[in-house]
Amino acid sequence: MSPTPPSSVRRVACIGAGVIGGGWVAHFLARGYDVTAWDPAPDAEDKLRRLVTAAWPALEQLGLAEGASADRLTLAPSLAEAVADAEFVQESAPEQLELKRDLLAQLDAAAPPGVVIASSTSGYPMTDMQITAATPGRLVVGHPFNPPYLIPLVEVVGGERTDRAAVEWAAEFYGVAGKSVITMDRELPGFIANRLQEALWREALHMVANGEATVEDIDASITEGPGLRWAFMGPILTFALAGGEGGMAHMLDHFGPSLKSPWTRLEAPELDRALRDAMVDGCERAADGRTYAQLVAERDQGVIDVLRATGRLDGPAR
Ligand SMILES: NC(=O)C1=CN([C@@H]2O[C@H](COP(=O)(O)OP(=O)(O)OC[C@H]3O[C@@H](n4cnc5c(N)ncnc54)[C@H](O)[C@@H]3O)[C@@H](O)[C@H]2O)C=CC1
Ligand SMILES: C[N+](C)(C)CC(=O)CC(=O)[O-]
């Protein structure tokens, strides 16, 4: 597969430098890689450098790799120049299927042979994105979580035409680069975590649309409730404890019937203007005057505190 073993990679290209591409750039810089970025927006370089500057204090707290420096970021004038000598490519362009198809085909044409190209897509199966690429075997999904420089998880999965070796190479590379990897052996829309998040998200939208709960109530129901447990113990093992000494068996026998009630609605609500406005207004109230930059700094410190408190600064919890 790739001409470079995962542990020898030094040069990474990040294509698309918005919220997630910029987060990947910050992560790879902090891990000591040389990073070349490309983004067609005229103000992309300013925004990217601002994002990296804002993230750097958090990254310093986590501990920078030897030689890591924000000065090792280069903005390339073209897509082809960005990937010309890359040893790994991370694509983070907008979530539009046609755009991703064209872009991945262009990246495949321009990147050195065998170099693995990963897409940050939040839910498209690679099978649907790789159809126009000349050598689709090296295209994988590497789905991160916001911000990629702090949230360890990456979900790795290939498409029908992806070589198994590319999936294995990507999983190993992300591990070397400090990520916590789940490798999936089949494609699911939304992968694992977004499928779960979407269920919660849909229920939240229904509650706001129907005036059943406010944005603030919904957020507090997670941060003051199950979210505290989920930071270190997953939802399934957590629920096993709900069965007391009887564990999951008692939990299912006791609460299984309520699954049929059902508590959830799970059909996507109509995202009409009224619901959109209610969500936006609710978030403004919840932000309570804090700017985007203040919220990012608060979130970053919160994630670091949780990682530290759960002993995960040096690797994933197991
Ligand atoms: N925002 C999030 O929380 C997460 C997003 N993702 C995925 O990451 C990808 C990027 O999303 P965001 O960073 O949120 O979007 P964004 O809108 O913040 O950034 C997208 C960037 O792509 C650039 N762009 C536009 N056309 C392009 C092209 N043809 N080639 C390269 N770059 C192009 C834009 O100028 C912009 O800077 C999407 O696939 C999304 O699903 C994945 C995990 C979380
Ligand atoms: C909102 N989102 C669906 C793009 C989020 C993700 O894909 C992962 C995350 O960061 O929660």
At 316 the pLDDT is 47
Give the ligand with the smallest distance to the CA of 192. 2
Q: Give kind and range of the element (H or E) at residue 279.
A: helix 273-287
- DSSP for 37-69 reads EE--STTHHHHHHHHHHHHHHHHHHH-PPTT--
At 212 the pLDDT is 96
Q: Where are the beta strands (DSSP E) in 127-285?
A: 139-143, 153-158, 180-183
CA of 194 to the centre of ligand 2 (A): 7
Give the ligand with the smallest distance to the CA of 100. 1
Its pTM stands at 0.95
CA of 92 to the centre of ligand 1 (A): 5
Measured in degrees and rounded to the nearest 5, phi and psi for residue 246 equal -75, -10
Cα–Cα distances in angstroms (integers) from residue 292 to residues 58, 262, 283, 284, in the given order: 16, 37, 11, 11
ipTM of the complex: 0.99
**Residue found by looking up tokens 């198994």 in the block:** 164
Give the ligand with the smallest distance to the CA of 151. 2
Q: Give kind and range of the element (H or E) at residue 34.
A: strand 34-38
Domain-by-domain residue ranges, the chain? 6-183, 192-287
Query: Ligand 2: does its nearest atom lie under 6 Å from the Cβ of 122?
Result: yes
- Pairing state of beta strands 153-158 and 180-183? parallel
At 91 the pLDDT is 98
Give the ligand with the smallest distance to the CA of 15. 1
At 314 the pLDDT is 67
CA of 261 to the centre of ligand 2 (A): 29
At 315 the pLDDT is 55
Annotated binding site for NAD(+): 16-21
| CA-closest candidate to residue 146, choices 279, 26, 10 | 26
Name which residue sits closest to atom 6 of ligand 1, judged by CA: 122
Averages of pLDDT over each 10 residues, the chain, 318 residues: 90 98 98 98 98 96 96 98 98 98 98 98 96 98 98 98 98 98 94 95 96 97 94 91 90 88 85 93 93 94 92 62
Name which residue sits closest to atom 8 of ligand 2, judged by CA: 145
Name which residue sits closest to atom 9 of ligand 1, judged by CA: 92
Percent helix, strand and coil across the chain, each to the nearest 5: 50, 10, 35
Query: Ligand 2: does its nearest atom lie under 6 Å from the Cβ of 146?
Result: yes
CATH of domain 6-183: 3.40.50.720
Q: Give kind and range of the element (H or E) at residue 89.
A: strand 88-91
At 197 the pLDDT is 96
Grouping H, G, I as helix, E, B as strand and the rest as coil, residue 74 is strand
Considering the segment(s) 192-287 as one domain, its CATH architecture is Orthogonal Bundle (1.10)
**122 CA closest ligand 2 atom index:** 7
Name which residue sits closest to atom 3 of ligand 2, judged by CA: 122
b/e map of 182-221 (b: 16 or more CB within 10 Å)?
A: ebbeebeebbeebeeebeeebbbbbbbbeeebbbeebbee
Ligand 1-lining residues (CB < 6 angstroms): 15-21, 39-41, 44, 92-95, 99, 103, 120-122, 143-144, 146
Report how far residue 265's alpha carbon sits from residue 188's, in angstroms, rounded to the nearest whole number.
Answer: 21
Query: Ligand 2: does its nearest atom lie under 6 Å from the Cβ of 145?
Result: yes
CA of 118 to the centre of ligand 1 (A): 13
Name which residue sits closest to atom 4 of ligand 2, judged by CA: 122
Q: Give kind and range of the element (H or E) at residue 170.
A: helix 164-176
Query: Ligand 2: does its nearest atom lie under 6 Å from the Cβ of 121?
Result: no
At 313 the pLDDT is 79
